Amino acid sequence: MKISCLLIIKRDFILNEFKDKVAVVTGAASGIGQAIAEKFAHEGMKVVISDIEKDALFQTEEEFKQKGYEILALSVDVSKVEDVRILAQKTIEKYGVINVLVNNAGVGFAGEYSTALWESPLSEWQWIFGVNIWGVIHGIHVFTPIMLKQDFESYIINTCSIAGLITPQPGAGIYSITKHAVLALSESLRSDLEQFDSKIKVLALCPGFIKTKIIESERNRPEELYDKKITHPKLEQQIKMYKQIISSGISPNIVAEKVYNALLGEKFYISTDAHPLVRNYVKTRMEAILTDFKKK
Ligand SMILES: NC(=O)c1ccc[n+]([C@@H]2O[C@H](COP(=O)([O-])OP(=O)(O)OC[C@H]3O[C@@H](n4cnc5c(N)ncnc54)[C@H](O)[C@@H]3O)[C@@H](O)[C@H]2O)c1
């Protein structure tokens, strides 16, 4: 048999590895989360889609069911630990196991309140931290013990961002801080799990600019976290530019493909469209740190 033929058979065998496995995806009613959920379902996985935006969630459920996918839709606000507990409980009730958790829900990039850090109302910090950091903490806190108890190979994927690798990002400071935290959290989680010889693998998804509704995050801001809008005139152009870059970003389907392939491989950091400029920013930041460390 030819080598190419063998490779195809091996690839098919590997690709089927996740058939019938159970995945939970947060923020799955739009953008990256929706694309990941669809990719997983398309590959034969049973997928629990969860989101705060009910109409979009149940519409996604309907569309996925029409495509013949095995889907459970649950309305969940990841910033509330009780909601995340119910998410885990209902998943276990329906499917018995959890093979993959994707902590993906996120808000607040280039939104209407984006401005200089000291001008940002506290409600802005509370909202973005609540979803982007506490949402992931809740996922880790509730799901990791269940996955540890299962004692078989499982995966936790956290949606970080290239915004978690580079600073400064004028007008996107709070978002960037949360993404730095989620990346550090993912690295620490991986290390802790390795110390305990756990079978859980952690992956840090670091998308670049993806064409999604992230710039319309305001649609999901809780009423109690509204405040006076202020965007410093100096930053208006910058924020407009972020919106333009996202609007012409790559398709979330490309991200979903990369995530699925990363599950099959040995990657920890998943990049999507890491532009040479981004690599250069990361390098420049690290070099500046190391240079200052050397100074007396
Ligand atoms: N779009 C990009 O360029 C980009 C780049 C890097 C990282 N990311 C990250 O990707 C993730 C997905 O964002 P997206 O770009 O697909 O945006 P999106 O707005 O299209 O999707 C985000 C989803 O999260 C949901 N959500 C918001 N608050 C929630 C809450 N409290 N509980 C549960 N669900 C909630 C929204 O309803 C929405 O369905 C986010 O973590 C975001 O920070 C996006």
d(C-alpha 185, C-alpha 92), whole Å: 25
Pocket lining: 220 vs ligand 1, CB cutoff 6 Å = yes
Please report, for the domain that includes residue 75, its CATH number.
3.40.50.720
Query: Does residue 5 lie within any of the structural domains?
Result: no
d(C-alpha 121, C-alpha 126), whole Å: 9
d(C-alpha 275, C-alpha 279), whole Å: 7
Q: Is residue 160 a contact partner of residue 182, using CB atoms and an 8 Å limit?
A: yes
* Per-residue pLDDT, 8: 52
Q: Is residue 37 a contact partner of residue 64, using CB atoms and an 8 Å limit?
A: yes
Query: Does residue 185 lie within any of the structural domains?
Result: yes
pLDDT in tens, 183-231: 999 999 999 999 999 999 999 999 999 999 999 999 999 999 988 777 7
Query: Does residue 40 lie within any of the structural domains?
Result: yes
Q: Which residues of 50-64 are buried (b: 16+ CB within 10 A; e: fewer)?
A: bbbbeebbeebbeeb
SS3 244: helix
Pocket lining: 37 vs ligand 1, CB cutoff 6 Å = no
Pocket lining: 131 vs ligand 1, CB cutoff 6 Å = yes
**Residues labelled catalytic:** 175, 179
In which domain, by residue range, is 246 found?
A: 20-294
* Per-residue pLDDT, 158: 98
pTM: predicted TM-score of the whole model, two decimal places? 0.94
CA 295 to centroid of ligand 1, rounded, Å: 41
φ, ψ of residue 205 in degrees (nearest 5): -85, 120
* Per-residue pLDDT, 115: 87
Looking at the CA of residue 160, tell me the nearest atom of ligand 1.
7
* Per-residue pLDDT, 229: 74
Query: Does residue 15 lie within any of the structural domains?
Result: no
* Per-residue pLDDT, 142: 98
Query: Does residue 55 lie within any of the structural domains?
Result: yes
CA 69 to centroid of ligand 1, rounded, Å: 22
pLDDT in tens, 48-86: 999 999 999 999 999 999 999 999 999 999 999 999 999
Pocket lining: 103 vs ligand 1, CB cutoff 6 Å = no
| Angle at CA of residue 206, ends 203 and 210, nearest 5° | 130
Query: Does residue 2 lie within any of the structural domains?
Result: no
CA 289 to centroid of ligand 1, rounded, Å: 31
Residues of the chain with pLDDT under 50: 9-10, 12-13
Pocket lining: 130 vs ligand 1, CB cutoff 6 Å = no
CA 272 to centroid of ligand 1, rounded, Å: 16
Atom 37 of ligand 1 has which residue's CA nearest to it? 53
**Domain tally for the chain?**
1
Atom 42 of ligand 1 has which residue's CA nearest to it? 106
- According to DSSP, the β-strands at 100-103 and 269-271 are unpaired
Pocket lining: 77 vs ligand 1, CB cutoff 6 Å = yes
Hey, which of 220, 225, 250, 258 would you mutate to test ligand 1's pocket, going by the most ligand atoms within 8 Å of its Cβ?
A: 220
Q: Within 10 A of 94 (CB to CB), how many other CB atoms are there? A: 13
Pocket lining: 106 vs ligand 1, CB cutoff 6 Å = yes
Query: Does residue 13 lie within any of the structural domains?
Result: no
CA 274 to centroid of ligand 1, rounded, Å: 19
* Per-residue pLDDT, 56: 98
* Per-residue pLDDT, 252: 98
Query: Does residue 71 lie within any of the structural domains?
Result: yes
* Per-residue pLDDT, 2: 57
